Amino acid sequence: MTFVQLVAIVVHEYEPAIRFFVDVLGFELVEDSPATTTGGSPKRWVVVRPPDAQTGLLLARADGQQQAAIVGNQHAGRVGFFLRVDDFAAHYQRMVAAGVEFVGPPRKEPYGQVAVFLDIAGNRWDLLGPAPQANQADVRAASQLGSGRTPQGAATMTDDDKYIRRAIDLARQARERGNHPFGALLVADERIVLEAENTVVSQNNPTHHAELNLVQAAWQTLPSELIRRSTLYTSTEPCPMCTGAIFWSGIRRVVFSFPALDLGAMAHDRFCGPCRQLFERAEQKTEVVGPILPDEGRQVHLGFWTTA
C-alpha cells in the first residue's frame, strides 16, 4: 500500500497550532515527541490528523528567518489544503462560532459546498461538503406548511424542551467564549440541522446575534424548502433585528426560552419587546411558542449584564 503519510505546515509556535487543529477543527493529536533539528537544536515532532484519516499534518515550528518568512504563505496565496466533511453546515457553523476566519461566504459548486478559511498560520483551506439535495419529502412538507397544515415531524412539547435546553447550552458556550449569552438552532424532521452562537465580541460585529448567524448560515448551506419547514429554537426571545431576519428567511415557527421583556429589565434595555407583535403585522403568520423553561433560560444571563 502506498499513500502520503504526512504533509508539513510551518507555524510560528506549537501550542497555538495544536489548539487550532485539535480544539477548533476536531483533529486528533497523534504524536507530540521531543526531537532535534539537523543543526542539533531542540524541536518537537507534532502530528495531528482528522479522525479515521491516513494522512496527517506535521506541525513544524519555523527555524530561522527563511522558514519564518513562509508561515501562512506556503502556497503563494492559493488554497493549498482541502478538508472534506460529511456535515458541511455543522462544521461551518462550529468554525464560525470558534472565530475561524473565512475568506468569503459558502458557495455551491457542481462538486458540492465549499468555503475558504484560514488556518492558524494564515494558509488557505477549502472546507468541502456534499451538495445539499431537496428530496420529494422536503417538497411535500413545504407544501403542507404553505397550506396551513402541520408538517410531518413537527416538534412536540417534549421535543421543545429538549431543543430549548440545547439552545441554552449554546448560549452558555457563547458566554464562555467571551460573547453575549445567546444561542439558537434549527430543527427539521426531529433533528438538529444547524446551530449558532452569538459572536458579537469575537467577530467585532454588533449584528452577529445567534439567530441572525443561524439564518445567514442556513441560507448559505441548506435547501430553501428545508428552511421553510424548520423550527427555530432560541435561548432568548429574538430582538427586532433577528425577528425580521427570521421572517424574511421563511421560517414560520419560533420557540424561545427567556422573554425579551425580562431580558430588557435585566440588561436595562427598553428596545427589547415581544417578537409576536412584529410577526403579527405580517400577512404570512409565524407561530411563536414561549416562554419555554424561562427559569433555565434566565440562568445563563445571571451576572453578565452587570459587567457587560
Phi, psi of 192 (to 5 degrees): -80, 125
**Residue 211: active-site member:** yes
Q: Report the distance separating Cα 51 and Cα 37, nearest Å.
A: 28
Q: Which residues contact 141 (CB under 8 A, 6 or more apart)?
A: 151, 152, 153, 225, 229
How many residues does this entry show for the chain? Answer: 308
Q: Which of 15, 101, 195, 211 is catalytic?
A: 211
Question: 113: how many CB neighbours lie within 10 A of its CB?
Answer: 21
Q: Report the distance separating Cα 218 and Cα 88, nearest Å.
A: 11
Q: Report the distance separating Cα 237 and Cα 298, nearest Å.
A: 11
Q: Report the distance separating Cα 134 and Cα 138, nearest Å.
A: 6
Residue with cell 421543545: 160
Q: Which residues contact 283 (CB under 8 A, 6 or more apart)?
A: none
Residue pair 186/231 in contact (Cβ under 8 Å)? The answer is: yes
Phi, psi of 135 (to 5 degrees): -90, 175
Q: What is the DSSP letter of 21?
A: I
Query: Which residues are the active-site residues?
Result: 211
